[in-house]
Amino acid sequence: MRSGRFAAIGLFLSVLTSPVMAAAPIIPPPPEINATSFLLIDATSNKVLVEHDAHEQKPPASLTKIMTSYLAEQEIAAGRISETDEVLVSVNAWRTGGSKMFIREGTKVTVADLILGIVVQSGNDASIALAEHIAGSESAFANMMNQQAAMLGMNNTHFKNATGLPSADHFSSAWDLALLTRDLINRFPEHYSLYSRRAYIYNGIEQPNRNKLLWRDKTVDGVKTGFTNKAGYCLVSSAVRQGMRLISVVMGTDSDSARMRESQKLLSYGFRYFETQTLYEPGIVLKEKDVYYGELEKVGVGVAASVVATFPRGYYKSIEAELKIEKLLEAPLSKGDEVGELKLRLHDEVIYTAPLVVLEDVTEAGVFGRMSDFVSLFFSSLIDS
């Protein structure tokens, strides 16, 4: 079995869907963005559409609370806490400065209310109360935040608190925050829907969501604002148009209106000039290939996971697909064994690569079947030599 090994280019079978090289896409350059760091990605394909210093470590301010709410939802999903749990508000939570939900020391607040206070009202008091309920202390909760960040591949992130209030060694990056947001949307869609709420009333006080894009653009359904003097005005936003979801991150703008304006510019550019399509589904036979020494004479070859690509809008028919498959497939084969590679090209750029796998098991043939294939291959090699 030589699955996944390619000794020479002559061992590949190549198929191009179009014999003519597509014309190079013509799109304008990205807009000028007035921020110290920014990023625009497609949430499904993870394709980077626009970026500047996206991996630079920056103070995240209240963007931190995306992780705070993420961990809370994870604890609920695991059954370790419940939305109906009543959390006793500590002096530490009550005294915290900055944005507030206005919970009072010594009172009890449900986990569900605290989550809304974090997501909609950006309450520092709610963040600390929930962190203490989950982990016993805010510092222990920060340790959990860092463990989760490592699991998500947030390599330029380190948390010291649950709020995003200024602290030494508390930082993240536009890329890491986009990764976190993407995972939040995919893993906890019901929880993510809270980020689209425009206001929340607690203790008789109604506070609006600080993400003003929720009012300006009906396709925007989140995510979170942040501000400190050091971080500047920050915003992680996400929107869906025609089934395509984008995530934008801007950090270090100079005003509330600027973070909204710069985010809108990124989202508008992405939706206007790019599209995302599912090109191949798993389990669909892309090509049948001869198998030697097996009970089956042929086996279907396809992809193991959906092939989702982001590319310039209007160029779907210009994408070329190339299948490179090992020339000789020998039994036994197990479903999922890699036997080649799929490449998608647009003009001279490879926009996607994925392994090709066999789509069913192929057991080894009996003695006479194997002998017949051996003789067939022997004479084939004489002809080819």
Query: Is 62 considered catalytic here?
Result: yes
Tell me how far apart the alpha carbons of residues 149 and 158 are, in angstroms, rounded to a whole number: 8
Q: Which residue has the tokens 């069913």?
A: 360
Is 65 an annotated catalytic residue?
Answer: yes
Q: How far, CA to CA in Å, does 56 sit from each of 157, 224, 243, 249? A: 10, 19, 30, 13
Class of residue 19 by CB neighbours under 10 A (exposed 0-12, middle 13-18, buried 19+): exposed
Out of 69, 122, 172, 237, pick the active-site residue: 122
Rounded Cα gap, residues 379 and 177, in angstroms:
60
Mean pLDDT by 10 residues, the chain (385 residues): 31 40 79 98 97 98 98 97 97 94 96 97 97 98 98 98 96 98 97 96 93 96 97 98 97 97 98 96 92 80 95 93 88 90 92 94 65 50 51
Query: Residues 246, 42: contact at Cβ < 8 Å?
Result: yes
Question: Which of 210, 204, 207, 233 has its CA nearest to residue 222?
Answer: 210
- 339-349 burial string, b = 16+ CB within 10 Å, else e? bbbbbbbbeee
The question of whether 257 is a catalytic residue gets the answer no
Q: Are 214 and 238 in contact (CB under 8 A)?
A: no
* 10-30 pLDDT per residue, tens: 223 334 444 445 567 889 999
pLDDT of residue 376: 59
Name which of 217, 228, 215, 193 is nearest 266 in CA terms: 217
Q: Which of 47, 58, 65, 265 is catalytic?
A: 65
- CB proximity list for 31: less than 8 A, separation 6 or greater: 265, 266, 269
Q: How many residues does the chain have?
A: 385
CB neighbour list of residue 183: distance below 8 Å, 6 or more residues apart: 70, 152
37-253 maps to which CATH number?
3.40.710.10
| Whether CATH 3.30.930.10 fits 9-23+279-384 | no
Q: Would the pTM count as exceeding 0.85?
A: yes
Residues 37, 62, 237, 318: which is the catalytic one? Answer: 62
Contacts with 197 (C-beta within 8 Å, 6 or more apart), sequence order: 116, 119, 120, 209
Task: Quote the longest CA-to-CA distance of the chain.
Answer: 88
Q: Domain ranges in the chain? A: 9-23+279-384, 37-253
Amino acid 365: pLDDT: 58
pLDDT for 11: 28
> Distance of CA 87 to CAs 92, 111, 134, 166, 280, Å?
13, 7, 10, 25, 48
What's the pLDDT at 295?
Answer: 79
Q: Please, what is the angle between helix 111-119 and helix 124-135, to 10°? A: 140
